[in-house]
Chains A and B, each alone.
Chain A
Amino acid sequence: MASAHLDELPAEAELAAMLQPEVAGCYQCGKCSAGCPVGGVMDILPQQVVQLVRVGKTEELFRTETLWLCLGCGTCRSRCPNGIDIGRVIDLLRQCQPASVGRSTVKDIRRFHQLFVGEIWQRGRVYELGLLVRYKMLTAKVWEDLPLALRIMRRQKLRWLPSRVGTWRKIRGQIFRRR
């Protein structure tokens, strides 16, 4: 493959070195954790993510639930006195997580994001009904959210046929590449 740097997952030290400048200013004031909407259900808090990056323990971060529970809402970045964008750091960590590593409790979230991107690959737009059904079936959570789904369908909120970008199959190759 062309560039090893892009095609292979970086080693722990390499990844840490790449991320450390992003978190350099942190003085552990905890504002990020205080404002994080999902701090209460995370296994490690946003400020601990920062600290683990700083000490170079990115492997440990791959094994947290926090890695996939972060909403990317930007609250931490907005409130951090040093403008540290933890959501973005977490996104980059997600992209570097080896497929075989990670907590089984949050694998379904990773899978959801992949399904979502797969939807875009298919038609250029997301077909909500198809995505929901596929996710709930794949993760064996068919019953979860069923009342919501029924309520939504009764109100004819979901379309029955997907919308698509007309020329998508011609142009998607510029955005994605088939293996």
Chain B
Amino acid sequence: MSLLDFAYYPGCSLEGLSREYDASFRAVCQALGIGLKELAGWNCCGGSSAHAVDTTLALTLASRNLDLAGKEGKDLVIPCAACYHNLRQAEREKTEGKTNLAGGRSPGCSFRAPRQEVGEELPGPVVLKRASGVPQMRKTGEDGASSADVPRGKRPTVRLFHVNDFLVLPSVYERVKQSVHRQLSGLRAVTYYGCLVPRSDAPPGAVAAENPTSMDQILILLGITVRKWTSKVDCCGGSLGVTRPAVVRRLVADLLIEAHKAGANCMVTACPMCFVNLDGRQPEVLAENTHLRPLPVFYVTELVGLALGLHEVASWWRRHCVDPRPLVDSLELQLVAGPSLRPARSMPEAGTFDPEPT
């Protein structure tokens, strides 16, 4: 097998609230023989707050991580939608910003936001440094190309991949295909991409901005029935999660209604914030909307892990607020003739069949 190595930017959420996403992603990569190197000394990307406070700060925070990845010299995988969005914004600013400056004028207006004071209410007030490189405002996403599509030579830095796009990279997809150990055919899923990832990559009005398919492809590969629904890219209210929980609960209720209408028995996401809103807040949403039934939510990486037959799955389910175990246990997991993945490092030849004790 050829070597596959990626740099990894977990982001703050995967160190805390969504440790099961981090654990499942790492376990899946290990099982697939894909090397992951966590960026040493990565910092927070600014989340959905820094850009509201100071544009330069937001871009500086994100681009420091790009620089770290550049030094590492490996393509960067990012599991969180907000992190991915922020790093992509910074990447655009870095690459296209230069071009625009060379051209003398940027399209759109050159907006300079005033210096903001942040942390007024905190000990040790700070003022943002605005030494150089005040960002110029321009329309984002005009090229619309995902970093995945751009030939390497044309880019000064490494390529960025959100986990969904990483999983459908031909080399990775092929490995998943070779290693699927059982078909998860009892699952009827709706794929929830959330608002930011599709819109970070696709230009306004593009099909991919409203109907992304990467996660669908990977789930179909695992034997899951993917239900069509119209809320793939609807926003769950992420950045108001802490400040306006009632608004978020309403948006989550809408998503649950749509998922039920689509006949799904689970929802799949690839963003820690989406997951907290859909899974963590679901008990309150169900209490407010008594006609709704609980709907387990999965990270896409957890389902890959389940299909690969990883034994760690139990430790991931424990962290869910809507217990997925009844659903998972009810599945008649069809074993497929193919290589088993345990133990992960010494892969048996294709064709060997490892019957699971049932």
Contacts and interface: CB of A to CB of B under 8 A. Distances in A.
Nearest to B134: A6
A147 B57 CA distance: 34
Contacts, number: 237
B331 interface: no
Given A91-B52, A117-B50, A118-B118, A18 B111 contact: yes
Contact of B281 (A81, A118, A148): A148
Report the interface size class on chain B. 35 or more
Interface centre among B55, B134, B204, B238 (most CB of A within 10 A): B204
B19 interface: yes
A41 B240 CA distance: 12
Interface string A95-122: 1100100000000111111111111110
B237 A112 contact: no
Contacts of A79: 204-205
Chain B binding surface SS class: loop
Contact of B113 (A72, A77, A96, A124): A96
A120 B51 CA distance: 13
B134 to A, nearest CB: 7
Nearest to A17: B109
A60 B199 CA distance: 29
A113 B53 contact: yes
A91 B19 CA distance: 31
Interface string B31-44: 00000000001111
A22 B137 contact: yes
Contacts of B75: none
Contact of A159 (B16, B120, B142, B196): B16
A177 B209 contact: no
A91 to B, nearest CB: 5
Contacts of A69: 240, 244, 247
B283 interface: yes
Interface in A113-162: 113-121, 124-129, 131-132, 135, 138, 144-145, 147-148, 151-152, 155-159
B357 interface: no
B204 A115 contact: no
B42 A178 contact: no
Given A6-B130, A75-B235, A114-B119, A155 B319 contact: yes
A22 B139 CA distance: 8
Interface stretch (B121-129, B156-164, B305-313): B121-129
B108 A120 contact: no
B318 A92 contact: no
Contacts of B60: 175
A128 B16 contact: yes
A165 B119 CA distance: 19
Contacts of A112: 49, 242-243
A140 to B, nearest CB: 13
B240 A38 contact: yes
Contact of A113 (B44, B49, B280): B49
A72 B48 contact: yes
Contacts of A6: 112, 114-115, 130, 134
B245 interface: yes
Interface in A160-179: 163, 165-168, 173-179
A114 B121 contact: yes
Given A22-B137, A74-B195, A116-B50, A38 B111 contact: no
A179 B235 contact: no
Contacts of A28: none
Interface of B: 12-13, 15-19, 41-44, 46-55, 57, 60-61, 64, 108-122, 124-130, 134, 137, 139-142, 195-196, 199-200, 202, 204-205, 209-210, 233-235, 237-240, 242-245, 247, 250-251, 276, 280-281, 283-284, 318-321
Q: Which 4 A-B pairs have the closest CB atoms?
A: A116-B49, A177-B129, A21-B109, A113-B49
Given A92-B137, A121-B126, A173-B129, 20 more contacts: A5-B112, A19-B109, A22-B111, A38-B247, A71-B240, A78-B205, A92-B55, A95-B52, A99-B117, A113-B49, A117-B49, A127-B16, A128-B16, A129-B16, A147-B284, A148-B284, A163-B12, A163-B15, A166-B41, A175-B61
